[in-house]
Amino acid sequence: MPRECLAKLRSGTPAIMPSMLLCDFANLGAEVRAMEDAGARGLHLDVMDGQFVDNFTYGMTIVRAVRSVTNLPLDIHLMMVEPEKYLGDFADAGADILTIHTEAVEDPKPLLKAIRERNVGAGLALNPTTPLEQIADALPLCDLVLAMSVHPGAGGQSFNPVALEKLSSLKDQVAKEVLLEVDGGVNNTTAAACGLAGAHLLVVGSAIFRHDPSEYRAKLEELTQLAASKLAASNL
């Protein structure tokens, strides 16, 4: 499944990945189904441990709960220290992609290999302040590279265009199968520039979840069209 699901996410128009961080957790199953009904091609789940980032969210229990109500690809963003302790648990809970942060580990390469060995897509994220050079030797082991466009830890922040430069450089550095993802502050103003820079996956939280579920489909379609338009934005 992961190889197939990675290829599916990469084909066609860029995919908007709703960040469930900002959903209504009192109605998690309904939110997941609403996203599926609205046409989402995958879901992004933010695991925060209160150490790598100040915020604390959830762990594998929620990933397993989401998996129990959907077959959509689950893209798990591990904002945590010592991710190696939990890779097996998250894989067993139903992850299709597990993304670790380069800043959280001494050497991401053994972890990326361990993720792939579990037949899960291996992702590597870097913060806005982390230079691309820091992950250059790990790129051949990545199925996904996530350029953060905000400092991780919270939704609703402003987009940092430094991510666009990284995506543009990554396009020339990674194999064609590798997914390029951007996360943070993606909205109607920034989505087109993300598509133009080469993002296949655009993680979106507040620009979707601040709306009523009846508007999810329209928001996803609007953002997909913008990302696919690849128009340069002059106001970022």
CB 148 within 8 A of CB 180: no
CB 171 within 8 A of CB 162: no
Q: Which is nearer to ligand 5RP, 128 or 156 (CB)?
A: 156
* Least Cβ distance, residue 133 to ligand 5RP (angstroms): 23
Please check if 26 is assigned to a binding site: no
Phi/psi for 232 (5° steps) reads -70, 140
Please check if 185 is assigned to a binding site: yes
* Least Cβ distance, residue 20 to ligand 5RP (angstroms): 9
* Least Cβ distance, residue 151 to ligand 5RP (angstroms): 8
Q: Which residues bind ligand 5RP (CB under 6 A)?
A: 19, 21, 44, 46, 77, 150, 152-157, 183-186, 203-207
Please check if 143 is assigned to a binding site: no
How many whole angstroms separate alpha carbon 95 and alpha carbon 14? 20
Q: Which is nearer to ligand 5RP, 10 or 219 (CB)?
A: 219
Catalytic residue among 75, 96, 143, 183: 183
* Least Cβ distance, residue 128 to ligand 5RP (angstroms): 11
96 is catalytic: no
Catalytic residue among 46, 49, 75, 96: 46
Please check if 46 is assigned to a binding site: yes
* Least Cβ distance, residue 57 to ligand 5RP (angstroms): 9
How many whole angstroms separate alpha carbon 93 and alpha carbon 204? 23
CB 17 within 8 A of CB 207: no
How many whole angstroms separate alpha carbon 184 and alpha carbon 82? 23
Q: Which is nearer to ligand 5RP, 62 or 109 (CB)?
A: 62
46 is catalytic: yes
Please check if 200 is assigned to a binding site: no
Please check if 77 is assigned to a binding site: yes
Annotated binding site: 19, 44, 46, 77, 153-156, 183-185, 205-206
**Binding positions for a divalent metal cation:** 44, 46, 77, 183
Residues marked active site are found at 46, 183
